[in-house]
């Protein structure tokens, strides 16, 4: 099969598609013929060996995908009936998504609702469960509360805007360029601020009617995180999602005291092990919204398999809008 093949940690230009053996499946797994896979910020770091954990070489990047069940291990239990050969599925794997076939555990796969495209299935992956877990389970976002989304035109940002709206919040999107601000508005944000402007906290104050954001969804980090926390409403919750800016900010402890504010950490990768019941509830809610047509995950840009380099580059050079998706199989 053809797969993006990382033989040594390197810049994305030096990574190729190679002919490799398809993965074998073991207990509890199925083989999925991949139709679309999406790329996240972490994938770009992993390819270069810059992420906090390293995939053993050689490996194929890509943790989020959608496709068709091609083979089911004999000893698979649980939701095997729902995952019979030929079933359209979306799901996650530790890596291997940017290939014609990927092995995945049945607990990480979900049948795709009717009418949902492979590109949308691949885009749902990590960002939407992360956003719902963060906003609902961790920050208890309430209807009518004011949610500020930083990096709002990015992958997690667009998911947070849509989930915030579904939870009944007033959503303010912060993004750096006119194109990104328009994109964030098109995904449902109620107000937009340009957080590259020196006076952006004044614009934020106006957008919240002087109240400040009750919840801040922050996948960016750096100076903007501290500025945002200074504007938080009384009893506000600042959700630490990631550090796309490359800088981990430090917060002076007097600020949570003065603001009555809370810093809330979120790590989606740990939910399955630490809070499996919550993870099931999050997945069930997302599938229900998808089924009902209430959630339409945003696909930023779709690339052909051969052009996978471009998807990585857009992700890494700050020009991506929404989620970057690679089409693996056109049939």
Residues in contact with ligand NAP by the rule CB under 6 A: 40-42, 126-127, 130, 151, 153-157, 175-176, 180, 219-220, 241-246, 266-268, 315, 318, 320
Task: List helix spans (H) across the chain.
Answer: 41-47, 118-124, 127-132, 155-166, 178-186, 200-207, 223-230, 254-259, 271-274, 276-291, 308-316
Nearest distance from C-beta of residue 77 to ligand NAP, angstroms: 28
Distance CA 190, CA 321 (A): 18
Nearer to ligand NAP, 111 or 157 (CB): 157
Q: What angle do CA 220, 307, 103 make, to 5 degrees?
A: 80
Other residues' Cβ atoms within 10 Å of the Cβ of residue 57:
11
Nearer to ligand NAP, 84 or 178 (CB): 178
Nearer to ligand NAP, 76 or 200 (CB): 200
Nearest distance from C-beta of residue 316 to ligand NAP, angstroms: 7
Asked whether 40 and 65 are in contact (CB, 8 A), the reply is no
Nearest distance from C-beta of residue 254 to ligand NAP, angstroms: 26
Distance CA 104, CA 95 (A): 9
Nearer to ligand NAP, 69 or 295 (CB): 295
Nearest distance from C-beta of residue 22 to ligand NAP, angstroms: 28
Residue nearest to ligand NAP (CB): 154
Nearer to ligand NAP, 206 or 319 (CB): 319
Nearest distance from C-beta of residue 292 to ligand NAP, angstroms: 25
């Amino acid at each position: 099969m053809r797969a993006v093949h990382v033989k040594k940690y390197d810049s994305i230009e030096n990574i190729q598609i190679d002919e490799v053996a398809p993965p074998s499946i073991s207990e509890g797994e199925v083989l999925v013929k991949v139709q679309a896979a999406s790329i996240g910020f972490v994938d770009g770091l992993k390819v270069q060996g810059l992420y906090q954990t390293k995939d053993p070489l050689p490996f194929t990047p890509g943790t989020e995908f959608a496709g068709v069940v091609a083979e089911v291990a004999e000893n698979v239990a649980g939701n095997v009936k729902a995952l019979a050969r030929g079933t359209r599925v979306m799901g996650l794997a530790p890596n291997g998504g940017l290939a014609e076939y990927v092995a995945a555990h049945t607990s990480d796969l979900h049948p795709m609702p009717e009418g949902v495209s492979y590109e949308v299935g691949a885009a749902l992956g990590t960002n939407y469960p992360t956003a719902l877990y963060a906003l609902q389970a961790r920050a208890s976002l309430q209807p009518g509360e004011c949610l500020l989304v930083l990096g709002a035109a990015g992958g997690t940002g667009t998911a947070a805007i849509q989930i915030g709206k579904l939870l009944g919040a007033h959503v303010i999107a912060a993004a750096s360029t006119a194109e990104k601000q328009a994109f964030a508005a098109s995904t449902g944000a109620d107000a937009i601020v340009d957080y590259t402007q020196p006076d952006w906290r004044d614009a934020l104050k106006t957008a919240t009617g002087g109240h400040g954001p009750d919840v801040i969804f922050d996948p960016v980090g750096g100076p903007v995180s501290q500025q945002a926390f200074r504007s938080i409403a009384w009893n506000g919750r600042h959700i630490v999602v990631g550090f796309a800016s490359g800088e981990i900010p430090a917060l002076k402890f007097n600020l949570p005291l003065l603001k009555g504010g809370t810093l809330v950490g979120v790590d989606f990768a740990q939910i399955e092990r630490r809070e499996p019941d919550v993870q099931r509830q999050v997945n069930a809610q997302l599938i229900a919204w998808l089924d009902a047509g209430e959630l339409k995950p945003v696909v930023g840009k779709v690339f052909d398999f051969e052009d996978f380099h471009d998807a990585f580059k857009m992700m890494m050079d700050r020009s991506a809008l929404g989620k970057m998706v690679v089409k693996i199989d056109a049939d």
